[in-house]
Chains A and B, each alone.
Chain A
Amino acid sequence: MSTLTALKSLPSPLKVGVSRTKLEVKQFFREREQLIFTFFFPIIFLGIFSAVFSGTDFSGGVNAATYFTPGMIASGIFLTSFQSLAITIAMERDEDLLKRLRGTPMSPQSYFIGKIGLVLCTSIAQFALLLAIAGLLLGVDIPSEPSKWLNFLWIFVLGTASGSVLGIAFSVVPKSGKAASAVVTPVVLLLQFMSGVYFVYSDLPSWMRGVASVFPLKWLAQGMRSVFLPDGFQVHEPGGSWQLGTGAVVLAVWLIAGLVIAQRVFRWTRRDAG
């Protein structure tokens, strides 16, 4: 029996990781709370803001829907990566799912492949839906220049990657699964307000902008504005330009810091498990 088992090799971490991705996506779309507060949240807010500020003139001939679209895209990336992972991993740890998985021959890599796969699937689907609604229903001009989409690509990748590793790291902060939403959501909300997702960033007090510029969401939002707003609009940015270089550096630093911290703090069992 045992010799027979030894002959057959374990399934590859990648194969199991893909199978976990499918399972993760299935679960995500079956959980109402996740669906509303992570997936549809930015889409709902884009609709509300476009309606509320429809009479407001944003500088540079930009209307409300156009101004808020990049912010909501950035916000969505942050929700599907950071918020989604921080909350679900905290709950999975509290419910002993992580402990159960650790007791199986599943490779830890497969678990993280599943999480990354989940973030990619949900953030891409969310972005596609946001873009479709903005372009088709709200009359937002979607850029066609390849250079803008090239920028979009690296900003999107850096944004989802840094948000994911930070979410994995932050999942150890809530003391229980029940507390997870209550601990994670205010952090995300605060960052969204300070980073100019719900307001015109240049209208925010300078101290608030100072605080926001330490965190990744501000740079994610600014990067998305560079893609979806006309080039002339960058004179309205506080720095007078899109600052893509600085943004790339800040996001990369958060990505590396997140990776290091996540590796150090991640645990498969509850804190009270000793």
Chain B
Amino acid sequence: MTDTDIAVRVRGLVKRYPDKVAVAGVDLDIHRGEVFALLGPNGAGKTTSVEVLEGYRHADEGEISVLGVDPARADRNWRARIGIVAQSSRDEAELSVAELVNHYAGYYPNPRDPDEVIASVGLDDKRKTRTRKLSGGQRRRLDVALGVIGNPELLFLDEPTTGFDPEARRQFWTLIENLRTEGTTILLTTHYLDEAEHLADRVGVIAAGRMIEVATPETLGGRGARTARVSWLDADGAHEVRTDSPTAEVAALMTRFDGEVPELEVRRPSLEDIYLELIGKTNAAADLATAEAGVA
């Protein structure tokens, strides 16, 4: 794969803090034009990894290339090619939406049109509103406007919809889909599995400082994780079987019960179920390792 196809390439990223190893060897490839979602529980090393890619922190070990440049040695020209939308912000409260977007446009060699950007994030009627008076969702949309004003090739979005109501989240998703259509590569971190499923071409799951799986939302966890579960109730209590042929299972149950099967349910695990199972396994392994280390 050539450099022009790949936006982010990471091999063996390690980042240590005085009290712990935050990232213990992460590999990652993000292709140009794709939306990649990074999932993982708090403290798993997600934010640290992303901040290394953004150039805020320097890795202790590993090869890191973002748009062909090591972020630790990045200059202003490189920064002009990326956009960062960090978690919640409340700065510059006394400036208006239009003042801020126009001002930030002046930082870049090739900015987008400020008016178009304001319109694209749906803040047209808030142009003259001071940011202090924006709602949480409006403020996040302003943050996205400031993140994309420089016309970035790669956009970092850190938990962009935390605290949104369902309607605001849907609107925000449309905004991200439009950016993707325009060809922007997006690295998204999120706690919402439905968000990852909806937006991402591929997802990566980080737990305990390691990338435990990278896959499309449809194939995460492997085929086994998608196995259907058939559950029902009889005199002995609740039953559940995992099966690749749920239809046959249901047919057999129908014969056995001679009609209605009590509390019959056929379920395929959601992305969230699969994710929680992945995380659970990793945590159990980590706990075991800690326990063994404690004994030794």
Contact = CB atoms under 8 A, between A and B. Distances in A.
Interface of A: 1-2, 4-6, 8-11, 15-16, 19-20, 23, 26-27, 30-31, 92, 95-97, 99-100, 102-107, 269, 274
Given A8-B109, A11-B109, A23-B99, A97 B76 contact: no
B79 A105 contact: yes
A106 B153 contact: no
Contact of B95 (A2, A4, A27, A95): A27
A26 B95 CA distance: 8
B110 interface: yes
B258 interface: no
A95 B94 contact: no
Contact of A103 (B56, B90, B130): B56
A102 B106 CA distance: 15
A103 B83 CA distance: 8
A104 B104 contact: yes
Given A9-B109, A95-B89, A99-B56, 10 more contacts: A5-B151, A6-B77, A10-B80, A26-B95, A30-B130, A31-B94, A100-B86, A100-B89, A105-B76, A105-B108
Given A2-B81, A11-B106, A105-B80, A30 B94 contact: yes
Nearest to A11: B106
Contact of A269 (B56, B81, B106, B130): B56
A27 B153 contact: no
Contacts of A100: 84, 86, 89, 91, 146
Contact of A4 (B57, B89, B110): B110
Contacts of B130: 30
B99 A96 contact: no
A140 B80 CA distance: 54
A5 B86 contact: no
B9 to A, nearest CB: 16
B107 A23 contact: no
10 contacts: A9-B109, A10-B77, A11-B107, A26-B99, A92-B91, A96-B89, A104-B79, A104-B84, A107-B76, A274-B17
Interface string B80-116: 1110101001111011000100011011111000000
Given A30-B94, A95-B91, A16 B77 contact: no
A4 B151 CA distance: 12
Per CB-CB distance, the 7 closest pairs between chain A and chain B, nearest first, are A97-B91, A30-B94, A103-B84, A105-B80, A95-B91, A8-B109, A105-B79
B86 A103 contact: yes
Nearest to A23: B103
A199 B193 CA distance: 66
